[in-house]
Amino acid sequence: MISGTDPLNKRPIGIFDSGVGGLTVVKQVMDALPCEAIVYFGDTARVPYGTKSARAVQAFAVQDTEFLLRQNVKMVIVACHTASSVALTSLAGRFDVPILGVVEPGVDSALKNTKNGKIGVIGTRGTIASRTYEEQLLAKDPGVQVFPKACPLFVPFAEEGWLEGEIIFKVAETYLKPFRESGIDTLILGCTHYPLLKRVIAQVLGEGVALIDSATETARVVRKRLYELKIANDSQSVPEHRFTVSDIPEPFRDVGERFLGKKLGRIEQIDLEKVQA
Ligand code: DGL
């Protein structure tokens, strides 16, 4: 059992994603838990995960987690929705530290929010093909109707910073029009990149559809869990945040600072193969 005086409190939280997108989760965790140190790993050498097989993503997720555990983290957050959808259960069974994903917080929030029981979910092809969101929503409330839809083009648009204007509006309209017909009142943004596109998504769907930002919901759950486990860091000193990637840092910096909304400082390139040897 973890005790309140355990040095675990001082250890960082580990957060990984396929690349830059998980910084939307880091941003919310920093806001919710300003005293916590963070080690972030973006697997930029192997991004995207959303187009790869569940088997490949499961293997990557194990390596990403092992890397973070070597950095002495007290908790691992799987910020990537694709990895959370296909690998969270196996990771949780394999490692001893608490491992949290981004799917369940979004599911719980959507169920709390919906009035008419019609919930839409958007994500990568891998996330939608896994049916994890559907299964979790229906397991918690068999009465709801779930409308899933892969929106793969949203990822490059978010990374390019094309968040507004005619072209992204057309793309969003093409993807999201079916939701207007199905009458959803709640939409889960089931991908790291989608919070950046909230405005255009809301423009297409109108005020009657609530958008569930999984990054915000996850940060809330992480905070609660750290306090329940008595491993939250209450010290008032400024925490250290480390950013690590598996490919060259510069492209990560350019997009990452926009996603995080602040400067990234030093970005370390690490070689997963060497770290594991
Ligand atoms: N981070 C991924 C996710 O949330 C999106 C980018 C990718 O396909 O790797 O599913």
Pairing of β 118-123 and β 99-101: unpaired
Determine, yes or no, domain membership for 258: yes
181 in Cβ contact with 116 (< 8 Å): no
Domain identity same for 51 and 110: no
| Residue 14: strand pairing partners | 39, 76
pLDDT for 277 equals 61
Instruction: Give mean pLDDT, residues 247-265.
Output: 96
Active-site residue flag, 80: yes
The count of structural domains within the chain is 2
pLDDT tens digits, one per residue of 67-78: 999 999 999 999
Domain identity same for 27 and 164: no
Domain identity same for 89 and 224: yes
Determine, yes or no, domain membership for 119: yes
Q: What ligand 1 atom has the least distance to the C-alpha of 102?
A: 4
Q: What ligand 1 atom has the least distance to the C-alpha of 85?
A: 10
Distance of CA 264 to the CA centre of its chain: 18
pLDDT tens digits, one per residue of 171-199: 999 999 999 999 999 999 999 999 999 99
Please choose from 124, 189, 196, 213 the residue to mutate so as to test ligand 1's pocket, defined by most ligand atoms within 8 A of CB.
124
pLDDT tens digits, one per residue of 129-172: 999 999 999 999 999 999 999 999 999 999 999 999 999 999 99
**With 70 as the cut, is the pLDDT of residue 203 above it?**
yes
Instruction: Give mean pLDDT, residues 87-98.
Output: 97
Domain identity same for 128 and 208: yes
pTM, rounded to two decimals: 0.96
Reduced to 3 states (helix: H, G, I; strand: E, B; else coil), residue 73 is coil
Determine, yes or no, domain membership for 3: no
pLDDT for 99 equals 98
Determine, yes or no, domain membership for 174: yes
Determine, yes or no, domain membership for 2: no
**With 80 as the cut, is the pLDDT of residue 3 above it?**
no
24 in Cβ contact with 77 (< 8 Å): no
pLDDT tens digits, one per residue of 112-125: 999 999 999 999 99
Ligand 1: centre distance to CA 7 (Å)? 33
DSSP secondary structure letter of residue 238: P
Domain range for 190:
103-214
Please choose from 17, 86, 128, 151 the residue to mutate so as to test ligand 1's pocket, defined by most ligand atoms within 8 A of CB.
17
Per the prediction, the chain carries an average pLDDT of: 95
Ligand 1: centre distance to CA 124 (Å)? 7
Residue 245: which CATH number? 3.40.50.1860
Q: Is 253 left (phi over 0), alpha (psi -120 to 50) or beta?
A: alpha
pLDDT for 272 equals 85
User: How far is CA 275 from each of CA 44, 68, 132, 252, rounded to the nearest angstrom?
Assistant: 16, 11, 31, 21
Residues with CB under 6 A from ligand 1: 17-19, 21, 47-50, 80-82, 124, 127, 155, 191-193
Task: Give the position of tokens 């790291």.
Answer: 192
Ligand 1: centre distance to CA 88 (Å)? 15
Q: Give the percent of the chain with pLDDT over 90.
A: 93
**Residue where a domain terminates, one of 214, 235, 261:** 214
Ligand 1: centre distance to CA 3 (Å)? 35
**Nearest partner of 223 among 77, 43, 82, judged by Cα:** 77
Closest Cα to atom 6 of ligand 1: 48
pLDDT for 124 equals 98
pLDDT for 37 equals 96
Closest Cα to atom 9 of ligand 1: 48
pLDDT for 2 equals 40
Domain identity same for 126 and 207: yes
Domain identity same for 89 and 63: yes
Where would I find the H helices in 33-164? Answer: 54-70, 81-94, 103-113, 125-130, 132-140, 154-160
**With 50 as the cut, is the pLDDT of residue 4 above it?**
no
pLDDT for 149 equals 98
User: How far is CA 241 from each of CA 9, 14, 51, 266, rounded to the nearest angstrom?
Assistant: 15, 10, 29, 10
Cα(92)–Cα(13) distance, rounded to whole angstroms? 16
73 in Cβ contact with 39 (< 8 Å): yes
pLDDT for 120 equals 98
**With 80 as the cut, is the pLDDT of residue 49 above it?**
yes
